Amino acid sequence: MEWHGKGGGIAFCGGHVFRNLIYGNRVSAPGVNMGAGKGGGVALGSTVNYPSHFYNNTIVDNFAHGSGDIEDGAGIFIEIGLSAVPIIENNIIAFNDSGGGLYLSPWGLGDSMVEQYNCIYGNLEFDIIAPDTSLTDIFADPLFADTMARDYSLLPGSPCIDAGNPEYPLDPDSTRVDIGALFFDQTTKIEDDNRASGPYDFQLSQNYPNPFNAQTTISYMLPVSSEISLYIFDITGRVVRKLVETQCQEAGAHTLVWDGTDSSGKSVSTAIYFCELQVQDRRFVKSMILVR
């Protein structure tokens, strides 16, 4: 969806909004319009008479561009009235484009909200701009199953699992509430036969950011302890950098950073590169764009 105004995905003031997946929305300001181009995914208002409670939602890959400022809230734009205290918790706000993650507008009459137990990560320009942030927030990769395929379910090992507000009702699998719209079902069994059962398997996620300039983060998932190698290749097939070479790693989520240099420490030039994860007898490849 693309909309010239506020709230490309959803705009509301008052009520409970929960268990929504809000992604791929764009909002912009036509010309110089101070009231437009805010809240690519969500524009949230709250007043004393119409309080807002926004929880267990996933807000991903939204875009906002206002009248020149960067603080447009590509993920969530919040504007609240005096003495109104909206509740923002248990949400994933990640990988939103130009306009940042969560932004509390200073132009409203109020500057107080309950903002806690959210996972905020990888948003372009900023993750959160608000007077106070909670110590319960998580600033780590939520580990989505496959962002390229728009699969925003959680992988095993995600920091969002069992990390929501403990005062909330339990998830359907009778465990502590997860962060985000899609809970991770822990009743699914994984057989201990050196291979993952069900939908869980070795996973190489798309690097972030992509394209990138200075550095990029590479994430991958190992369902069992495995010996792996992780190489960077150029388009000719030449090995540019060996980030991991024949190393045994524990099961779980792993991340590392490539700073755009080759094996000699020299910065490589603008081009398309390939990240290859080699594990057991399998290979997983993602393309990456470096722009100098």
CB 64 within 8 A of CB 28: yes
Asked whether residue 64 falls in the same domain as residue 140, the answer is yes
Residue 184 belongs to a domain: no
Q: How far apart are CA 17 and CA 27, in angstroms?
A: 20
Domain end among 114, 132, 154: 154
Asked whether residue 31 falls in the same domain as residue 104, the answer is yes
Q: How far apart are CA 286 and CA 277, in angstroms?
A: 9
Place of tokens 């109104």: 84
Domain end among 154, 176, 192: 154
Beta-carbon contacts of 180 under 8 Å, excluding residues fewer than 6 positions away, are 56, 57, 58, 90, 91, 92, 119, 142, 152, 154, 160
Residue 161 belongs to a domain: no
Enclosing domain of residue 97: 2-154
CATH number assigned to the domain comprising residue 286: 2.60.40.4070
Asked whether residue 251 falls in the same domain as residue 138, the answer is no
Phi, psi torsion values for 173, nearest 5 degrees: -90, 10
pLDDT at 182: 92
pLDDT at 249: 92
CA–CA–CA angle 142, 145, 146 (5° rounding): 110
Asked whether residue 141 falls in the same domain as residue 38, the answer is yes
Asked whether residue 139 falls in the same domain as residue 219, the answer is no
Q: How far apart are CA 22 and CA 71, in angstroms?
A: 19
Count of domains in the chain? Answer: 2
Question: Can you list the pairs that 194-201 forms with residues at least 24 positions away whose Cβ atoms lie under 8 Å?
Answer: 194/224, 195/223, 195/224, 196/223, 196/224, 199/145, 200/155, 200/156
Asked whether residue 107 falls in the same domain as residue 209, the answer is no
pLDDT at 111: 65
Domain end among 97, 119, 154: 154
pLDDT at 35: 57
Asked whether residue 92 falls in the same domain as residue 211, the answer is no
Q: What is the mean pLDDT of each run of 10 residues along the chain (292 residues)?
A: 66 91 86 67 88 94 75 85 86 92 76 89 90 85 88 90 93 91 75 42 82 87 90 89 93 89 92 90 86 84
279: Cα within 13 Å, side-chain hemisphere: 23
